Every structure is written in structure tokens, then in C-alpha cells.
Structure 1
Amino acid sequence: MDEHEVYHCQNCGLEWKNNNKKYTECPECKSDKIILLKNDTLNKRRSFGGEGRGIGIPPSSCKCPKCGYEIPKIKGEPCKNTKCPKCGTPMHGSGRCIN
């Protein structure tokens, strides 16, 4: 595996790097919606001085992965810190803000 490969979870937004293991699910939310970012992708990200590609845009709402209950996202508060009021499951980001 290339030493500059980074994983990105499209469900909760977690990014991590591990050169010793191939991942098929997110270690945080267990979603299989993960992508592998290569050097060229990282270099296009705003945080690396690029123009950005939409990765890292915050979610517009928090949604329960178990029952589907959805609430508006509170700025600065990660969705995973909010528990679903219906079933108690930690929420995940849903939808994307564009402003």
C-alpha cells in the first residue's frame, strides 16, 4: 500500500491513515461507504492548498442510522455526539451544506 493513502468515510466524514491494514468499513461508524484518497486527491483539497473538491463539506443534518430519525445539524457539534431521541443510537451526518 502506498504510504500516502488515506481513507475517507462518506457516511460520518472520518479520515484516517493506516499503511498496515486494508479497510472495508469505517472504524468509527462501521459504514462500508469508504473511499481511498490518493496523493493527487489530497493535493487538491483546500487544507492542502488546492481549490477543493467538496470532500469535507459538513453535513446539513444528523440522521439516525438505525431508525432514520433526522434533525438539523448544530454547527460545531459532531453528529456522533448526539443520540437519537427515539432509539438512543448515535447520529451520523446526512446531506451536505453548500454555504
Structure 2
Amino acid sequence: MEMVVMVVLVLIVLVLIVIEVVVVVMVVLVGMEVVMVVLVMVVVMYIVVMVLRVTVVVVMVVVMVMEVVVVVIVVVIVMVVMVIKWGWW
């Protein structure tokens, strides 16, 4: 799960870098009128990246919580089975 998240993050970052390079090239080719648009795009992209990072952190936390919950459930089930099998004492 964590590996998948990391791979997705890397891919997203690579895509963003490519987009920024393309944008810079376009600015050089088209001229300076586009600079404001580019700045807005870059700001938006950084906001998106921040949101993605927060999302990834949330996902990691959720995964950890799920793992803990699963462990707790397994322990509870084992306890119940043992109690049913051998009684309280």
C-alpha cells in the first residue's frame, strides 16, 4: 500500500515537472504576455501538490489505523474463542 502511494506521488511529481518545462518553453516561444497565466498555473499546481501531500498523509494514517484495528479485531476474536473454548477460568 505504502509503495503504491509512493509510486503515484513520484509519477505526479514527474508529470508536474514536465508540465512546468512545457509551460516555460511555451512562454519563451509565445512571449511574455503568457507569464501571468503561467504564474497562476504554477501556483495552482503547487496548491494541488500540497493537497496531494496532505491526502497521502491522511491515506497513510488511515492505513495505519486500519492495520491497528485489524490487529485489535484479531486479538478480540482470539480472546473470545479462547473464552468460549476453556471458559473464563
**TM-score between both structures, scaled by the size of structure 2:** 0.26
Instruction: Give the number of the structure with larger relative contact order, counting CA–CA contacts within 8 Å between residues 6 or more apart.
Output: 2
**TM-score between both structures, scaled by the size of structure 1:** 0.25
Larger strand fraction of residues: 1
Question: Which has the larger Rg?
Answer: 2
Larger helix fraction of residues: 2
